[in-house]
Chains A and B, each alone.
Chain A
């Protein structure tokens, strides 16, 4: 396949893909990995701390037992927290992105295909939602939802809910341009029902964009989860989360920078890897790059990157 061949010649994308794969493996094998030094992310090691609650020793208490040192105040093993944190990040990121993509693609296809007032209403809603201070809304929502509702699921739903408009916008734009192309008109002229046009003509042609968009959306969702946890309204303790560790590190990083470096580094590395891979994938699927200019034959993925905050 040309896409794979293209990716093989893109060292950034290749490295990104491998790093993503390693993180996924680490998340899946978290219990096995942490079993090597005999740690888990919940057990306290007060003996590894000094009187002020800061970890003893070099680099936040790095040792043969604690590969990344320990957490201040509790002495929990930081390596275990980071590895289990990958589970949280990837699950939330993939879950929220899947929700966004599912809703966004459906809405975008419908709006672009049917046009008219459906499209006008959808576009307006999408515009308003895209411009929304969504992080502020997310924070507020965590306050009013009943405490009995599982928090991680709530986070996935909230992030997914605010993610679909950007997908819908891109898909709608592409469907509009595809619909004006002759092969779509020809299908309509030969009496094709809406289902045929949507499923056989439009969906396969926006498929590439969906894949690329998903790879951009996942790191963005991971970043949002980390931001919410950083602010203390995300995944509740004791579930390990990189964002919460970084948030806790604010109070400690002057005395114990290692507590910031490991979770922060993991978050940065995973996001960077996803973005590099997504970039490479877009280039591979975008004929503009390989043929040197925008081709009329294949729609181009919106170049807008979803920011993660």
Chain B
């Protein structure tokens, strides 16, 4: 299969997945008995008011009509109501928050940089630390360094990010006073402040994941080092370092990257929790306050946006995967 066909095939695949995800999400939120019209109908909720609210929100259409309106709104934008009460929701429209009188897309975009900063930084940190630690442990298998790394790893696996975060705040924030205990500085305004404010969130979120990746990398590298081609690499006179890095780690990365792709969804969840610990106003706090006020448009919008984001990220991981494993791209 050529690279172009491979990419086209994968792209078609994610479009299909996105559609199915949107369908599933919308159906779940449509079928479950939380009635948005009743919530926004006001008091007293007369039948006339209720019907008007339904019409206004487009809930008088059958479910497939609503789904279509919603999906096409993402592409072309949407208009709620008519006459004086008209509300415009420009494309891409993930809904309109009537509580906040703002399109959901706008809410998401103002919050996204916070969550993205936490998530991406933490992912880089955990991947690098995990792979390095795991490789070192594999090479020094059974020795003190291996034991130390694996002990930290098993503790890390058991420590939720919010616990680690709170303890880190207690130590580095309150006791030592080295780092800020919370808040967020936009990168564009204060790059140094951005970095300093994110250092603790990154470490807190990455700690547990780095531990998991260290364990995974260790077992994969050990497994690879037992393969026949490693014997060949040694038999042509490569140094042990070259054997481990060029042949052992290189092959071990394939399953590690697979798991990384699967963990991106969890990464977003982790970022949501980390936001709360460090009092940052990201997507997570948006979602949780929307849940609190039963702002369904925002809840559905953020959820679907998150699903889209992760699906797109998974596509990137798929491409990377095909680059590191020739059997996938060409097979």
Chain A nearest CB from B223 CB (Å) reads: 7
Closest Cβ of chain B: how far from A218's Cβ, in Å? 12
> Which residues of chain A are near B266, meaning CB under 8 Å?
133-135, 307, 309
Is B46 on the interface with A (CB-CB < 8 A)?
no
Residue B34 CB within 8 A of the other chain: yes
B34 touches A145 (CB 8 A): yes
- A137 (CB) vs chain B CBs: closest residue: B303
What 0/1 readout, one digit per residue, does chain A (257-285) give for beta carbons within 8 Å of chain B?
10010001001100110111001000000
From A12, A132, A136, A275, B157 is in contact (CB under 8 Å) with A275
Residue-wise, chain A 212-255 has the 8 Å CB interface mask toward B (1 for contact) of 00000001000100110011110000000000001101100110
- B159 on the A face (CB < 8 A): yes
Q: Can you list, as one digit per residue, whether each of B234-246 has a CB less than 8 Å from chain A (1) or not (0)?
A: 0000000000000
Given A135-B266, A264-B163, A305 contacting B157 (CB threshold 8 A): yes
What total of A-B pairs shows CB separation below 8 Å?
165
B273 contacts the other chain (CB 8 A): yes
- Bound state CA distance, A3 and B284, in angstroms? 44
Number of interface residues of B (CB under 8 A): 63
Interface size range on A against B: 35 or more
Asked if A294 lies at the interface with its beta carbon under 8 angstroms from chain B, I say yes
Interface residues, chain B, CB within 8 Å of chain A?
17, 20-21, 28-29, 32-34, 154-155, 157-163, 166-167, 169-170, 174, 208-209, 212, 215-216, 219-220, 223, 226, 259, 261-266, 268-270, 272-273, 276-277, 284, 287-288, 290-292, 294, 296, 299-300, 302-303, 306-307, 309-311, 314
Q: Give 17 new A-B contacts, CB below 8 A, not counting A272-B155, A307-B263.
A: A12-B154, A131-B264, A132-B310, A133-B266, A139-B291, A140-B291, A141-B28, A143-B291, A144-B28, A146-B33, A231-B273, A232-B292, A233-B291, A268-B158, A272-B154, A294-B226, A305-B212
14 pairs, CB–CB < 8 Å, chain A vs chain B: A135-B266, A135-B268, A139-B291, A140-B300, A141-B32, A144-B299, A227-B162, A233-B288, A246-B163, A250-B277, A268-B160, A272-B154, A294-B223, A303-B220
